[in-house]
């Protein structure tokens, strides 16, 4: 398959950042917003096939979820390998708090340090780069009044001290929302890569260069150097790129994109995903080649019966962390606790939806307590199958409206499968969503089916994508196994 139209990391994994260590292994991180644990970390030996090894933000000191509104929290990170160590800098955006912090590690799969905070530099999308003399520079998109552009300051990455007054850098070609700066040293030049045009259909990648890391920078004559705006390409919103030199000396780039579907304006539902393209350097400037890479990527289907010693890193929650919601059940599977976050969001053991067509199902113990199977875009756009007192019913939330939909099913067995699936659309949306239940000795009962556009970013807004999960509705509940099938 061509990777021009297939993400190397499918689903809500936006704002990719990538680096290579001295052993030739590639590492990648993405944004996570309100979900905890935060900042998923991936490993690859070929930059095509990626395996999640963990999450960077796993402690309250690094990021405490629950007080974070939808699409708040952890914004775009930058991941770098420098002097035998991994450095990850990101931003925590929430009400009353905004700023960058840095964590480090020798092994991204083994945990990260306590955070080092940089005070007085409000903004998003921080980048770290070191010059030839070892000085460290933090470059970011400022949100300070009158400074909504690309800004840079020399910093001490060990203490968080800001060592100089921030300076204004090159801020693009004049398109809206210049952001996502990354600095690179190549062939005697410093290159400043940014995104501009907004992270919607106008998204684009632009670049400038300078002889000095501090500028002044001159833009490429062909800016923007990459965009799918105003085309019929199946991948849109392309931008927020990060360059990578491969072990063979060639170059590649990771970037985000979406796969919209349905009638105009078309709808994307799985969030902004991570794509890969080749790069050629032509007359001193990078030229993207989205058609370079082809590969047969493994199916993203999985079954989790929770027999391992710890949860797989795919599991996240928009409220309390999964380890606060879940514990092994003595008779198998997991016991879920009905924990509510500071912002009122109920605890949800969730995973990202990664494919255009899929089914997500949980085998639950009917006798162990009321339980819900949820498909969530944000806290105002979701659907749920609720199993209470041997009755299964569907509920839909769209903005301020929460209402039961479809029919109710009576449950006679003690083990029931709750299922939500994406099927072909009937109303011009990206898909239809079908909610159903079934048991071993009974046929599947469809509770409800509705247009999937109501759980899309174009309807809800924000920066995330669909996640699916299970939760306890009252005190506790039990799930025996969870299955995700892509088709």
Q: What residues are labeled active site? A: 15, 179
Establish whether the linkage from the previous residue to 270 is cis, with ω within 30° of 0.
Answer: no
Residue 351 vs residues 169, 322, 364: alpha-carbon distances, Å: 38, 11, 17
Residues 112, 132: Cα–Cα separation, whole Å: 26
Return the number of other C-beta atoms located less than 10 Å from residue 135's C-beta.
14
Residue 304 near residue 466 (C-beta atoms within 8 A): no
Tokens 């300078």 locate to 210
Spatial neighbors of 233 by CB under 8 A, at least 6 apart, are: none
Tell which residue, 199, 200, 181, 201, has the closest CA to residue 191: 181
Biggest distance spanned by C-alpha atoms of the chain: 74
First-to-last alpha carbon distance for the chain, in angstroms, is: 15
Residues 128, 138: Cα–Cα separation, whole Å: 5
Strands 381-388 and 391-398: antiparallel
Residue 443 near residue 298 (C-beta atoms within 8 A): no
Residues 428, 321: Cα–Cα separation, whole Å: 36
Tell which residue, 130, 125, 128, has the closest CA to residue 148: 125
42-48 contacts, C-beta under 8 A, 24 or more apart? 42/9, 43/108, 43/109, 47/8, 47/18, 47/244, 47/246, 47/252, 47/276, 48/3, 48/8, 48/276, 48/293, 48/295, 48/297
């Amino acid at each position: 398959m061509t990777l021009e139209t297939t993400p190397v990391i499918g689903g809500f994994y936006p704002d990719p950042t990538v680096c290579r260590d001295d052993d030739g292994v590639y590492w990648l991180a993405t944004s996570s917003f309100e979900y905890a644990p935060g900042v998923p970390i991936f490993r690859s030996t070929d930059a095509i096939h990626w395996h999640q090894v963990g999450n960077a933000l796993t402690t309250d000191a690094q990021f405490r979820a629950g007080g974070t509104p939808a699409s708040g929290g952890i914004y775009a990170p930058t991941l770098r390998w420098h002097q035998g160590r991994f450095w990850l800098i990101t931003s925590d955006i929430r009400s009353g708090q905004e700023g960058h912090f840095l964590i480090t590690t020798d092994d991204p799969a083994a945990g990260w340090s306590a955070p080092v905070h940089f005070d007085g530099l409000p903004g998003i999308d921080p980048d770290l780069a070191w010059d030839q003399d070892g000085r460290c520079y933090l470059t970011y998109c400022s949100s300070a009044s009158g400074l909504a552009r690309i800004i840079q300051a020399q910093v001490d990455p060990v203490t968080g001290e800001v060592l100089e007054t921030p300076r204004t850098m090159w801020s693009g070609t004049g398109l809206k929302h210049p952001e996502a700066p990354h600095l690179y040293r190549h062939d005697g030049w410093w290159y400043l890569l940014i995104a501009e045009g907004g992270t919607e259909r106008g998204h684009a990648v632009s670049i400038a260069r300078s002889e000095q890391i501090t500028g002044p920078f001159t833009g490429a004559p062909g800016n923007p150097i990459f965009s799918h705006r105003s085309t019929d390409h199946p991948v849109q919103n392309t931008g927020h790129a990060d360059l990578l030199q491969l072990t063979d000396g060639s170059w590649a780039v990771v970037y985000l994109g979406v796969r919209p579907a349905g009638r105009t304006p078309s709808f994307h539902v799985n969030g902004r995903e991570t794509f890969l393209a080749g790069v050629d350097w032509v007359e001193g400037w990078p030229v993207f080649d989205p058609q370079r890479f082809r590969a047969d990527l493994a199916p993203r289907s999985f079954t989790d019966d929770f027999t391992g010693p710890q949860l797989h890193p795919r599991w996240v929650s928009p409220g309390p962390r999964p380890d606060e919601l879940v514990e092994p059940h003595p008779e198998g599977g997991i016991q879920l606790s009905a924990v509510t976050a500071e912002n009122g969001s109920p605890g949800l053991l969730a995973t990202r939806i990664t494919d255009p067509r899929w089914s997500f199902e949980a085998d639950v113990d009917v006798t162990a307590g009321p339980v819900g199977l949820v498909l969530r875009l944000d806290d105002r756009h979701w659907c749920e199958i609720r199993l209470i007192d041997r009755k299964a019913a569907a509920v839909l939330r769209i903005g301020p409206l929460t209402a039961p939909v479809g029919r109710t099913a009576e449950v006679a067995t003690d083990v029931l499968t709750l299922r939500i699936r994406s099927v072909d659309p009937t109303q011009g949306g990206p898909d239809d969503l079908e909610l159903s239940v079934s048991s071993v000795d009974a046929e599947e009962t469809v509770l409800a089916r509705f247009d999937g556009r109501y759980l899309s970013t174009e309807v809800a807004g924000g920066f995330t994508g669909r996640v699916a999960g299970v939760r306890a509705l009252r005190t506790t509940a039990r799930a025996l196994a969870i299955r995700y099938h892509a088709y």
